[in-house]
Amino acid sequence: MATTASASEGVLRRLSAALFRHRGVRLWLTLSPPLAWMLLVYLVSLVLMLATSFWRLDALTSTIDRTWGFQNYETIVGSSTYLKLTLRTLGMALAVTVTDLLLAFPIAFMISRVASPRTKGLLSLLVVIPLWANYLIRVFAWRTLLAGGGPVDSLFAAIGLDSVRLAASGWAVWITFCYLWLPFAILPIAAALERVPSSYLEASADLGAHAGMTFRKVIVPLAVPGVVAGSIFTFSLTLGDYLTPTLVGKDLFLGNAISSLLGTANNEPLAAAIAVIPILIVVVYLTLAKRSGAFEAL
């Protein structure tokens, strides 16, 4: 008994000694599980989707015909349908991003630089609390708020804006998106502002800059990485969401086109080709963000 125990101990010891000597092996052993995950689950599925976008749907049997060709991309470019959907989705994503950044910056500034430690905790809690509720519940809340005869409708009627109808409009979608993604804009900006050292502000004041100038020349440039990070969240989340437009809006977005081509027509190839559009948009967006130098400061 004692000999087997010491034998296995010896194996373990030799193994750990070998690992200690071979740094590369150690690194690979640590990295390979997450890398395998990335490759199998993430990259391969993405590539399969790309491949599908070059196949076609056999109209007779409504099954996938695996012959390569550009016909899906020709369909997308050849019809105004997908251009309209793309522009609408892109416009909404930009509108939501700009609105959320404008709303988020003052709140983030309050949280990280103005509030006392106690208020800071309370404010952060208030920002994060909505995230504890289910996404669908938050969307349905806005649907109820904006419906005809609902609170917002009654409020507008009371101040004489009877003709304004928000239910099932683009405005309703915009408001709901802004509400949904606001915490994702506030948190990175607050984190960036938090990291601005007080000594910089003191130095700026010592050198004669007044508050406004310090804000513009010191605080804002140092907050840019946070702002860009927040904008990436709000932009890409809006670009990919398709439930909010169905629940509170009327018009379709790119995600709805993908979902109905998949769910209704079983046309996976065309749906995959359309899914490439938001991917390209995000790639362009990230490239622009990188060029602005935002990632270097992160």
| 85 scored as a contact of another protein (CB under 8 A) | yes
Residue found by looking up tokens 């086109």 in the block: 257
Nearest-angstrom CA–CA distance, 80 and 212 = 48
Nearest-angstrom CA–CA distance, 128 and 126 = 6
Which residue among 27, 77, 122, 243 contacts another protein (CB under 8 A)?
Answer: 27
Main-chain dihedrals φ then ψ at residue 65, nearest 5 degrees? -100, 115
Nearest-angstrom CA–CA distance, 154 and 208 = 52
| 119 scored as a contact of another protein (CB under 8 A) | no
Nearest-angstrom CA–CA distance, 52 and 135 = 30
Which residue among 6, 8, 30, 81 contacts another protein (CB under 8 A)?
Answer: 81
Q: x/- contact string, 130-169, with another protein (CB under 8 A)? A: -----------------xxxx--------------x-xx-
Cβ atoms of 274 and 218 within 8 Å: the answer is no
Could you say which residues in the range 233-262 bind another protein, by CB under 8 A?
246, 250-252, 256-257, 260-261
| 263 scored as a contact of another protein (CB under 8 A) | yes
Which residue among 266, 279, 283, 287 contacts another protein (CB under 8 A)?
Answer: 266
Nearest-angstrom CA–CA distance, 239 and 284 = 13
Nearest-approach distance from CB 59 to another protein, in angstroms: 6
Cβ atoms of 101 and 227 within 8 Å: the answer is yes
Spatial neighbors of 119 by CB under 8 A, at least 6 apart, are: none
Could you say which residues in the range 35-74 bind another protein, by CB under 8 A?
35, 39, 43-44, 47-48, 51, 57-66
Could you say which residues in the range 166-195 bind another protein, by CB under 8 A?
167-168
Cβ atoms of 96 and 238 within 8 Å: the answer is yes
28 vs 135, which CB is nearer to another protein? Answer: 28
80 vs 198, which CB is nearer to another protein? Answer: 80
Which contiguous run of DSSP H or E holds residue 179? Answer: helix 170-194
| 16 scored as a contact of another protein (CB under 8 A) | no
121 vs 263, which CB is nearer to another protein? Answer: 263
| 30 scored as a contact of another protein (CB under 8 A) | no
Reduce the secondary structure of 18-55 to three states and give it as a string.
HHHHCHHHHHHHHHHHHHHHHHHHHHHHHHHHHHHCCC
Binding residues for another protein, per CB under 8 A? 24, 27-28, 31, 35, 39, 43-44, 47-48, 51, 57-66, 75, 79-82, 84-85, 147-150, 165, 167-168, 246, 250-252, 256-257, 260-261, 263-267, 270
